[in-house]
Structure 1
Amino acid sequence: MPPSYRRPPRVAVGCGLAALAVLSAGPAWADPAPSFAELLSRLDQTPATLEAEALTQAAEARVRQARVRPNPTLGLEVDSLFGTGPYSGTGNAEAALSFSQDLELWGRRAARIEAARADAGAAAQQRDLAAVDAAGRLALIYAEAEAAERRAELAEESLTLTVADARAALALVEQGREPLLRGIQSESEAAAARAARDEAQAERDAAFARLEAVAMLTVPVTGIDASLLDQTPGVAREATTAAPTVRVAEAGRDAAERRIAVERIRARPDVNASVGLRRYEAEDATALTFGISMPLPLFDRNRGNIDAAQAEFRAAEARLMGARQEAQADRAAARARLAASSSRVGAADAGVASAEEAYRLSRIGFEAGRISQLELRVTRAGLINARTSAVDARLARVRAEIDLARQDGRAPFQGDQ
């Protein structure tokens, strides 16, 4: 028998099989994470939604403050006392007690209230958009964690298949039907599969950690049972309302328009009316006093603030125009990606079925000695790649559903909110 086909020592083969058995061992995972629907119900407790809600409450508080009238002013003035001559002491003193109030003419208060309401409306739209974005981010992190888990399972399965093929190859080497090189190659492939499995498990653990952080889970995630990747998105419908980003831009434009009115009214003088009593000690007499005061708009007519408010309004108009164009394009793109990804999922599933059958037949042929180890390796790699492609296709479908849901202003895989 040629040297290259010498039967390897039984000790070497036994050690290889033992090592492969160790390589195939992996940790068991249990305790699944809550379902996406359950996590979605807790979304109002996440930092992003809490921040948006707090900002909305702050804007509503400013509306209440805008309704409040300015405080009146109480004044006391005493003249002609502790001087010289007839004004020594307090005999000729004059004391005036006055009460003054800003009249808030020219619609100043109404404009202030309307501007505060517009800001509160913009804050509410931002809150709704934040909730939609938070739901989309949660869906993506959840789907990525599930995909990472499936890739880890595929890596484990690949290791199992590689070990099984290696054992078959080592058995043929021991029988002298294959050269020693084939056994060494098999053990090398098994070691590479083990490294790939370890890497996939590390990615899975990292994805679980991200899910724990985003969903604010107190118990470590060790698995996902309620699948989001296998959920089929609903049939896309024509949009009946504007996208959340457009509504935010519209609210911002309205708020900017209200600020122009506020700045224009501020250019008009503040009128203050006062009423009071004046006491004349020398005559032992008392008289009423009335007064009207206002600044003369000779130097400051608030032109800079008016121009700034008008420029901000033009900027808000431009943002709205861009938001409408982007929303229209993004919705069309999301619909197209969702349709394409759904077709890709079907094709990937069909590819998995074909690859499974090809590997089954290759394994039978290899054990019967009709095909080579290289051909078996190719069909095994094709099977793993097909299953990985099926996971990737489902993850792409989730991403497309997230994009479309954001344009609809709803949570992914949920009906209209």
Structure 2
Amino acid sequence: MFLRSRRPGALASFLLLTAGRPAFAEVEAEASPASVAARIASCLEADPRLLAGKEEIHQAEAEEVTASLVPNPELQVASGLVPFPWSPFDDADHPGGPPQLEAIVSMPLDWLVFGKRAAARESAGIGVDVAKAGFDDLRRQRLLAALEAHYDLAEAAGVRELADEAHREAERLYSITAARVGAGGAEAVELDRVRVSIAERRRELALARAAETGARARYEAIVGRGCEEPGSLEGPAPEPVSEHAALELAEKSRPDLVGLRLHVDQSGAELRKERADAFPELSVEAGYTRQFQRKAMGAPDAHSWGVGLTVGLPIFDRNQGGLAKARSVRRQAEHELEASRREARAEVTEAVRNYEASFEIATTHDEEALRAATRAKERIEEAYALGGRSLLEVLDAQESWREARRNHLSSRAELWRSLSRLQAAVGVQVLP
């Protein structure tokens, strides 16, 4: 039941106070978290850090091309048994030679016979998959950073809007109080109290604008300008996922774990490559020789050819160091995989628990507190406009309402941030 006005202009003062106040239920529908993440991910395609990380894939592919190439043959051209200019060959007094020209082509065969090229190609091929997994993990981390910056900006924008609304309400309260003082329903000191409130609201608005500018700068530093603008923090959030399901998703989907498993496979391939490299170098040769016998021996020049086989003798160097290092690298990769699994399990567990808490706070406690603070504020303002409440009660109700709004904004932003962290922890953007 409305209170009956006890002085002229009270109802008009109430209408002035409540004019332009947005209803709590009137919130802008927010797009789903998956669609927001998809639009931000499309902006990240031009992220310099991601573009730099993508070059790692191109470099690994180049190494695979190098490992698949067949070794080049070698050509050796030599001239031998040539006399010094001041000491020519002579049939009677200074026989020698005959001078000859040799051209020898050698072709390595150890890459084929001992499987060195195949082992190198296997290792390089897995290296491409490792690079792709590393790029996926970089993209996961950059997307998480962009989403957190996105919701930081949304929270900062909401706080700025709240500060702007609080400033307008303080000015409306000043007009009402001035009207009451003029009508003799309030003392003049109340105007000074409202002026203090207006100054505080201006200070909060200036700080909120600066915070929003800083949050926007951090967001645009990641995604660039012209990307997804933050909207309302309201909207339904997915139900919390069980810890067991989240751990299973992380084990299968997290690109860093996938990359480490591939790194273990690559270290095994590297060990096989080092074993192949322990075999000696092997090459086959074929050559042509022309002997210049006419001046040296008085006989016609002669043409001949020959073949040969060159093989190293692995007496001292049998690639002992390379094999020992490859075994150590494999053990290291296995230990790193197990350590990352433990860290990932802890990260997933923490993310699941944080999201459960954020979900409960944002969807239950803070919404109830905001509704209660909004009802209390409206009723006290209505009663104040009609002369039934004091200014201190109005200011206290407004402060409680602002605190409830700030808590609500913070909890909603933390809800989406914790969801983004959970999605990043399990390695998927859509939770079951």
Normalising by structure 2, we get a TM-score of 0.79
**1:68 match:** 69
Map Cα deviations across residues 157-213 of structure 1 (whole Å, 9 max, x no partner): 111222233333444444555444432222112111101101111211222233333
Alpha carbons of 1:36 and 1:297: their partners in 2 closer, same or farther (altered >3 Å)? closer
**1:130 match:** 138
Tell me how many residue pairs correspond in the alignment: 379
Q: 1:287, CA displacement in angstroms?
A: 2.6
**2:149 match:** 141
SS, match of residue 82 in structure 1? coil
**1:268 match:** 279
How many Å separate the matches in 2 of 1:339 and 1:404?
10
Question: 1:189 aligned to 2:189?
Answer: no
Q: 1:359, CA displacement in angstroms?
A: 0.6
Map Cα deviations across residues 30-77 of structure 1 (whole Å, 9 max, x no partner): xxxx96543333432222332232211221121122110110001111
Question: 1:303 aligned to 2:311?
Answer: no
Of the structure 1 ranges 108-117 and 359-368, higher mean CA displacement relative to structure 2 is found in 359-368
C-alpha contact (below 8 Å) 1:256/1:309 kept by paired residues: yes
Of the structure 1 ranges 234-243 and 122-131, higher mean CA displacement relative to structure 2 is found in 234-243
C-alpha contact (below 8 Å) 2:240/2:352 kept by paired residues: no
- % identical equivalent positions: 23
Question: 1:99 aligned to 2:95?
Answer: no
Matches within 5 A, 1:100-179: 100-103=106-109, 104=111, 105-175=113-183, 177-179=185-187
Q: Equivalent of 1:331, from 329, 348, 353? A: 348
Q: 1:82, CA displacement in angstroms?
A: 2.3
Question: 1:291 aligned to 2:297?
Answer: no
Matches within 5 A, 1:10-409: 37-83=38-84, 84=87, 86=89, 92-103=98-109, 104=111, 105-175=113-183, 177-217=185-225, 224-225=230-231, 227=232, 230-233=235-238, 236=241, 238=245, 239-240=248-249, 241-282=252-293, 284-346=301-363, 347-409=365-427
C-alpha contact (below 8 Å) 2:358/2:414 kept by paired residues: yes
Q: 1:342, CA displacement in angstroms?
A: 1.2
SS, match of residue 235 in structure 2? coil
Map Cα deviations across residues 377-405 of structure 1 (whole Å, 9 max, x no partner): 22111111111111111111112211221
C-alpha contact (below 8 Å) 1:95/1:278 kept by paired residues: yes
Q: 1:119, CA displacement in angstroms?
A: 1.1
C-alpha contact (below 8 Å) 1:81/1:89 kept by paired residues: no
Note the residue ranges of structure 2 that are not aligned, 5 or more in a row.
1-34, 294-298
Of the structure 1 ranges 322-331 and 253-262, higher mean CA displacement relative to structure 2 is found in 253-262
Higher relative contact order (CA 8 A, sep 6+): 2
Map Cα deviations across residues 317-373 of structure 1 (whole Å, 9 max, x no partner): 111001111222222222222222111112211111110001112213333444433
Q: 1:262, CA displacement in angstroms?
A: 2.2
Aligned-residue CA RMSD (Å): 2.8
Normalising by structure 1, we get a TM-score of 0.82
How many Å separate the matches in 1 of 2:403 and 2:192?
24
